[in-house]
Structure 1
């Protein structure tokens, strides 16, 4: 490890633009996309802001750790899907669930009553062609100016990356699963 001196002088740059709602994208093959979005949701909720979370691949009855916590905090979190595609028994039904879920999420975004809306794992239905990209982009462009939206999932479309204000790509460096260690409750649920 290279030791470095801590910075002592820093030129402070003061942004000159207006505060406004942001589009944030968490993408890439690494772990942490949803976790980062949930961290933002907790931060906003902690500031007394209205937050709504939609999970495009989780079932409505899901009871993962994030569901239990957000329910305790009074933050609405809703599963919109029927699980990942390899678990689906009917892909057309999965596609319809994604379209129906998007209609609910879009209405909430456009209503402007929430400070932050999380669209967790939305890249999957976009990539599978279950949701057309253009209506999603249009809703993001037309949302009320104060609404922040976070979108997560692997392989974000270039058009979404172009539209976004902040894009973070999670890069896989090392993963315990490759060493044979299974998923663990409280870490990956």
Structure 2
């Protein structure tokens, strides 16, 4: 008794398989032609304003993924953290210990607002972070600036949204990318951005009593 998988295709079966391969090839050729036509009209370059927001996990993680891409491409970049300054995160350790020559890292926050319980102190920390961010963004040699958790500072009005938007519009060099992360991004920021991604919360282990895990959360 032979295994059916070892049974050679009959001529009709072979014809069907060949026809299916041909249909697939024709379909992919049409998709490629459409993509090539679309890409032919997209030759411009622009420094993007990027927003990562939403209740789901992954906003900062995605921002740091872009930072690592910049490092790999030899593009000078910088990080300003507005909330997580007191945290010993994996990304901070990696960048400061291995890539400080190409990526500047400034942890300007003092923890989440419910931890400091001092609004004046939070506002002062946010202002210091924003002043450093402006300095970095103005530098034409820096190609990408990650403003991690700045949306939280904007949400609580620790920073003036109009000031931030005006600066990005008027003073950001044309080819500099700026990524702003944090939940509850304000509508005006979303409107001004070139690229917006909303992380949707489906399930999170914190709700099951599991604390943040190294390598996953920080």
TM-score by length of 2: 0.80
TM-score by length of 1: 0.92
Q: C-alpha root-mean-square deviation of aligned residues, in Å?
A: 1.6
- Higher RCO (C-alpha 8 Å, min separation 6): 1
Matches of 1:178 and 1:155 in 2, distance apart? 20
Which residue is 2:67 aligned to?
A: 41
Which is greater in Rg? Answer: 2
Counterpart pick for 1:163 among 189, 192, 197: 192
Q: Structure 1 segments of 4 or more deviating over 4 A?
A: none
Query: Where does structure 1 lack aligned partners over 5 or more consecutive residues?
Result: none
Matches of 2:123 and 2:88 in 1, distance apart? 22
Q: Secondary structure at the match of 1:76?
A: strand
Q: Say which is worse superposed, 174-183 or 124-133, in terms of deviation.
A: 174-183
C-alpha deviation, 1:76, in angstroms: 1.8
* Contact 1:56-1:101 at 8 Å conserved across structures: yes
* Contact 1:110-1:139 at 8 Å conserved across structures: no
Report whether the alignment pairs 1:112 with 2:140.
yes
* Contact 1:27-1:154 at 8 Å conserved across structures: yes
Structure 1 or 2: larger helix share? Answer: 2
Matches of 1:56 and 1:18 in 2, distance apart? 32
Which residue is 1:125 aligned to?
A: 153
Query: Where does structure 2 lack aligned partners over 5 or more consecutive residues?
Result: 1-23
Q: Secondary structure at the match of 1:78?
A: strand
